Amino acid sequence: MSDNHGNTPAAWTFVTLAMLGFVVGGVAMLLSPINWVIFWVGVGLCVLSLIVFPVMAKLGYHNAEH
């Protein structure tokens, strides 16, 4: 395993956005009745995290030097 495994700005941004998406979606499902707009916002944040990570990696933010 490399020394910078997961300790890069790209990785932290990915995990933060994905976790936020799961929390927002989970809160939406706890509401009665389920708030589908907030749920889909959470899903959108999860999808956004999958897009942001490769973009940041290509910009060089997946290196330990940043």
Domain ranges of the chain: 9-58
Question: Given this model, what pLDDT does residue 3 score?
Answer: 62
What is the pTM for the complete model shown?
A: 0.85
For 45-58, the pLDDT digits (tens) are 999 999 999 999 99
Pairs from 48-51 (Cβ < 8 Å, separation ≥ 24):
48/17, 48/21, 49/13, 49/14, 49/15, 49/16, 49/17, 49/18, 49/21, 50/14
